[in-house]
Structure 1
Amino acid sequence: MPTSITLTELTYRTPDGQPLFDGLNLSFGPQRTALIGRNGTGKSTILKLVTGELTPAGGRVTVNGTLGLLRQSVQVETAATLAQALGIDEALGRLERLEAGTGSLEDAGEADWTLPARLSTALAETGLPDLDPHRPLMTLSGGQRTRLALAALLLEAPDMILLDEPTNNLDADGRAAVADVLAGWRGGAIVVSHDRELLRQMDTIVELTTLGARTYGGNWDHYVERKALELAAAEHGVATAERKMVEIDRRVQAQVERKAKKDAAGARKRAKGDAPKILMNAMRNRAQETSGENARLANRMREEAAEAAAEARAQVEVLQPLTVRLASTGLPAGKTVVQADSLTGGPDLDNPVIQDLSFTITGPERVAITGPNGSGKTSLLRLLVGELAPTSGAARVRSTFAILDQTISILDPTQTIRDNYRRLNPDEDENACRAALARFVFRADAALKVAGTLSGGEMLRAGLAATIGGRTPPQLLILDEPTNHLDISAIEAVEAGLKAYDGALIVVSHDRTFLENIGIEREIALA
């Protein structure tokens, strides 16, 4: 039977009783399928339901074939070895006992002599060297542990692999390793990801929303094209619905005017006394009944047209990309914004990760700091803004600036978005505060959310609003891995804000699509 996963009338509720899915129907075959959607729509939950880690409240999950799962984070036990993480410690021990001459007949009967060669191949395909399988797992970096988990999937060779945010926290080489594994995978795959480069390798896109799931054949680029067509259709629907409302109002007004003329004629006839009184009263009663029925019909038609128009507008709002307008920083093209001269330093004074680095950023340049994990990208940012003192050389920021680190620590998690803004922009009044927050989609009560309760995407939007959304944005904005753990809609919202910003940008990111979309002009590559 072909490999497949089928969700039939699947219902699931969160621990607090909120419905996440209700009657969800989905099927996955032997192709590469991406699950996308806003954070909280249940993408990772679907993977857990498929593997049996969670139990649905209703419906069923049917799996034909074997499954392998790569989780968002690889947990590290203190004493765990690479062999244990790969799931080969028993098989490897059997081979080692046989090679040492201490193996049993059972060892000989169950030995897998192909294991060493398959292990070397799996490590190579995921970009890892021939590592000692007895090496402690905790000695590997996070990116290396993710690659090792991919190697474990290759060794296991299941019919279907499930990958939950496989490129989070990976550098460019690590992302390429994930992409290479998927490109060469011949079974089925379900990939939860916000990595648009990875999504371009998919055969099918499944989008989860609060309304359910919708399947789009093709990769990310095809999905974007389809969504653009859906937006155009939705905008046409709004125009049609609004025209219908105008037409109904016109028809109702014409009916009212005809009725008024007819009533006036009847009144004149009654005044003349040409017809019997009983007949005139009956005609008046019929007219009143008809008038009431017409009024009820007109109200119902108006309500239906208004409801259709509201639904059409809501659909456009869901599909319409965010656009942002910001005040100008007034940064001149020739102004030196950042200067580093023979800069050397880092957290470890004895082993500085940044060594003899010199560069200048002039005017509204957009510069990316790139390099593998551990190359000192975050340390460089801290050196530039004075959070770390250099061991030699110098660095200076020569303009107003704001820095948003990976945790958006500029925001006080105990304060509301509005109060954070007022604290960081003390010279601006309430109207300016509300206008700035509205530009980043924090309108009305949304501005009163406590920062510590925000999602990653909301937190970053709030940080951008508080730093560049005001009347006098800083001339330099520094961002450290801004897209980590954000869903695609949140990333696009951030991109919209940065596109509208006319100051200088320094960005640390491994997300190539993000860097392209915000107009990065050059890179400073760290080894």
Structure 2
Amino acid sequence: MEHSLITLDSLTYTWPDGTAALAGLTGSIARGRTGLIGANGAGKTTLVRLLTGELAPTAGHVHLHGSVGVLPQDLALSSQTVAEVLGIDRILTALRAVETGDVDVAHFDVIGQDWDIAARACQALAAVGLPLDEEELDRPVRTLSGGEAMKVGLAGLHLHRPQLAILDEPTNNLDTAGRAHVRGLIDSWRGSLLIISHDRQLLDGVDRIVELYGTGTRNAAGELQASTMRTWEGRFSDYRRQLAAEQEAAEQAAVTARSELGRQKHKRIEAQIKLDRRQRTAKQAVKDGKVPPIVAGGKAMQAQKSAAKLTGTHAARETAAHQQLQEAQAQVRPRVVIDIELPDTAVPAGRTVLELDSSEEVFSIRGPERVALAGPNGAGKTTLLNRIMTAAHTGEEPGVRVIAEVGLLPQRILLDPQLSVLETVRCAAPHADPHTVRAQLAGLNLKKGRPDQSVGQLSGGERFRVALARLLLADPAPQLLLLDEPTNSLDLESVEVLVEALAAYQGALIVVSHDAEFLTDIGCTRTWEVIGGALREAR
């Protein structure tokens, strides 16, 4: 354990309503750079809050071997000032008191050796691409953009250099330059890092991947099932290769176990048929007088013992084969398979669906083109998408001409938790046949009773699929989709679902994203850049 930075001993946290976030989690995280992954709801952010002391365990223990600093994922919503996020507000207050002539010894105790803290703070902010002067250290963080707020958190880590830095979704809401700053921090960081992220490019800079499996289910005795964690050495790309090979072997093992179970069932039935045939033959021999009853009785008793032994042997083998199949199937991860058809979204190759006037140049999309919309945070990308939506609804947006039905997947997806899945989708397609909608929902792996469940009862990944269904299955069908940072806050499985669903979509697409791998996966062939509110074609 001397190489472990974090040790977890039966760690449990239960919310006041009785919902388990973590249950009996035991394991350790080594020093170095670790990427923590897991499905939405697995308990990753709860674990961070337990590590930092913001939450106290319901049961079990957390052991930290070193100082800890954290970059939370919701800084943009913080009511703190820049100085408070940087952790220097008390020092600044003491410095200002001394500057006014207050010589209380308590102020000097607070300041210590940090007489130049304001200057060093500004240097740290500049190092992450956010040049602020000393007067702006009192600025509320909520007045900054999401990316700028994240940079303040990064500057705080630069300033204090804890032995363990925890980064919770550090690239969410960051533009390309901001993501580069985060990767630079990882490359230059001398201490240990715990990175909670779904950013595949970012995770390729770590030493290992730790996968967290959540809980919340109870066994027959009413006991919470334990949370678990598994460590994979290497980068995220190594993890994916190892997992793919392991899953291929697990699926083959399940096929073999299923075949063996079928073979054992067949042998048991075959043996039973033979025994039944012998019994009928013996009874007929007694009936025909070929065998004396006393002799037949002795043979019958001996036959019953042999039959019981044989039956027990075959039953035991069948039970063992069934157990082997269950164990093999437990190693196979369920995969969400998307199988939908969206013919009404098709756009002919030569048809214009959108024209934008910008700086004496007209930008147009013809046919099922897929365009990435790039640019720094605050440049106006979301504003442009909103202008396109306004033009689609009213036709009165200057310089924007939309000649297609348009659908928007915003950064913040809001669904009514009280409505059922079917009702939610039919809000966008009120005249659609319910049976057809159910069939399409099944294609998005929302099967069985899911369409009749309320949205609030679903997992995070399922709610995302409902939002996607509402968008793709709208009536009239969208022939131009606008996606605004669609992979932010999505777990890796949901990103794969989105990629597969967009493969079935046959219309045009404009995507705001800084995830280069995702843009490649969905087939974006052009890039528009928004710089200072102006649009240009990237070369």
If the length of structure 2 is used for normalisation, what is the TM-score? Answer: 0.85
What pairs up with 1:43-442 in 2 under 5 angstroms? 43-74=44-75, 81-92=81-92, 107=108, 110-113=112-115, 115=117, 118-133=120-135, 134-138=137-141, 139-210=143-214, 212-288=228-304, 290-291=306-307, 294-295=310-311, 298-299=314-315, 301-313=317-329, 315-318=331-334, 320=335, 322-328=337-343, 329-342=345-358, 358-386=362-390, 393-408=398-413, 412-442=416-446
Between the aligned partners of 2:25 and 2:156, the Cα distance in structure 1 is: 31
1:484 to 485, 488, 506: 488
Q: Structure 1, residues 446-499: CA drift from partner, whole Å, max 9, x if none?
A: 112323555553333112223325898532222222222221111211111112
Deviation of 1:151 after TM superposition, in Å, equals: 0.9
Quick check: 95-104 or 14-23, which moved more?
95-104
Verify the 8 A CA contact 1:356 1:393 in the aligned structure 2.
Answer: no
Deviation of 1:194 after TM superposition, in Å, equals: 1.4
Verify the 8 A CA contact 2:268 2:315 in the aligned structure 1.
Answer: no
Give the AA of the match of 1:26. G
Q: How many residues align?
A: 512
Give the AA of the match of 1:259. L
Between the aligned partners of 1:32 and 1:50, the Cα distance in structure 2 is: 16
Between the aligned partners of 2:309 and 2:425, the Cα distance in structure 1 is: 55
Inter-CA distance 253–111: structure 2 relative to 1 (3 Å threshold): closer
Verify the 8 A CA contact 1:137 1:145 in the aligned structure 2.
Answer: no
Between the aligned partners of 2:387 and 2:175, the Cα distance in structure 1 is: 21
Inter-CA distance 4–518: structure 2 relative to 1 (3 Å threshold): same
Give the AA of the match of 1:142. G
Give the AA of the match of 1:520. C
Deviation of 1:360 after TM superposition, in Å, equals: 0.7
Give the AA of the match of 2:385. L
Quick check: 372-381 or 15-24, which moved more?
15-24
Inter-CA distance 237–16: structure 2 relative to 1 (3 Å threshold): farther
Verify the 8 A CA contact 1:326 1:469 in the aligned structure 2.
Answer: no
Give the AA of the match of 2:401. R
SS at match of 2:449: helix
Verify the 8 A CA contact 1:456 1:485 in the aligned structure 2.
Answer: no
Between the aligned partners of 2:524 and 2:41, the Cα distance in structure 1 is: 30
Give the AA of the match of 1:43. K
Give the AA of the match of 2:471. T
Inter-CA distance 314–295: structure 2 relative to 1 (3 Å threshold): same
Inter-CA distance 467–20: structure 2 relative to 1 (3 Å threshold): closer
SS at match of 1:424: coil
Q: Structure 1, residues 195-222: CA drift from partner, whole Å, max 9, x if none?
A: 1121111111111113511110111101
Deviation of 1:285 after TM superposition, in Å, equals: 3.7
Verify the 8 A CA contact 2:369 2:508 in the aligned structure 1.
Answer: yes
Q: Which residue of 1 aligns with 2:222?
A: none
Percentage of identical aligned residues:
38
Quick check: 490-499 or 124-133, which moved more?
124-133
If the length of structure 1 is used for normalisation, what is the TM-score? Answer: 0.87
Inter-CA distance 440–30: structure 2 relative to 1 (3 Å threshold): same
Between the aligned partners of 2:20 and 2:144, the Cα distance in structure 1 is: 40
1:451 to 445, 452, 455: 455
Between the aligned partners of 2:487 and 2:438, the Cα distance in structure 1 is: 25
Between the aligned partners of 1:306 and 1:218, the Cα distance in structure 2 is: 35
Between the aligned partners of 2:337 and 2:87, the Cα distance in structure 1 is: 46
Between the aligned partners of 1:457 and 1:252, the Cα distance in structure 2 is: 43
Deviation of 1:402 after TM superposition, in Å, equals: 2.2
Give the AA of the match of 1:131. D
Deviation of 1:522 after TM superposition, in Å, equals: 1.1
Deviation of 1:185 after TM superposition, in Å, equals: 0.7
Between the aligned partners of 2:310 and 2:474, the Cα distance in structure 1 is: 53
Deviation of 1:380 after TM superposition, in Å, equals: 1.1
- Structure 1: 5+ residue stretches without partners: 343-354
SS at match of 1:118: helix
Between the aligned partners of 2:178 and 2:404, the Cα distance in structure 1 is: 35
SS at match of 1:316: coil
SS at match of 1:367: strand
Inter-CA distance 390–32: structure 2 relative to 1 (3 Å threshold): farther
Deviation of 1:325 after TM superposition, in Å, equals: 3.5
Give the AA of the match of 1:83. A
Between the aligned partners of 2:82 and 2:427, the Cα distance in structure 1 is: 49
Between the aligned partners of 1:218 and 1:150, the Cα distance in structure 2 is: 25
Verify the 8 A CA contact 1:2 1:64 in the aligned structure 2.
Answer: no
Inter-CA distance 428–289: structure 2 relative to 1 (3 Å threshold): farther
Between the aligned partners of 1:295 and 1:282, the Cα distance in structure 2 is: 20
Q: Structure 1, residues 423-460: CA drift from partner, whole Å, max 9, x if none?
A: 43344323211110011111121112323555553333
Deviation of 1:95 after TM superposition, in Å, equals: 5.3
Inter-CA distance 178–430: structure 2 relative to 1 (3 Å threshold): same
Inter-CA distance 286–421: structure 2 relative to 1 (3 Å threshold): farther
Between the aligned partners of 1:435 and 1:370, the Cα distance in structure 2 is: 36
Inter-CA distance 117–191: structure 2 relative to 1 (3 Å threshold): same
Give the AA of the match of 2:145. S
Between the aligned partners of 2:138 and 2:12, the Cα distance in structure 1 is: 43
Verify the 8 A CA contact 1:143 1:171 in the aligned structure 2.
Answer: yes
Inter-CA distance 400–361: structure 2 relative to 1 (3 Å threshold): same
- Structure 2: 5+ residue stretches without partners: 215-226, 532-539
Q: Structure 1, residues 110-131: CA drift from partner, whole Å, max 9, x if none?
A: 3335535633442233112143
Inter-CA distance 165–103: structure 2 relative to 1 (3 Å threshold): same
Between the aligned partners of 1:152 and 1:196, the Cα distance in structure 2 is: 24
Between the aligned partners of 1:224 and 1:252, the Cα distance in structure 2 is: 41
Verify the 8 A CA contact 1:70 1:163 in the aligned structure 2.
Answer: yes
1:461 matched to 2:461? The reply is: no
SS at match of 1:502: coil
Between the aligned partners of 1:3 and 1:121, the Cα distance in structure 2 is: 33
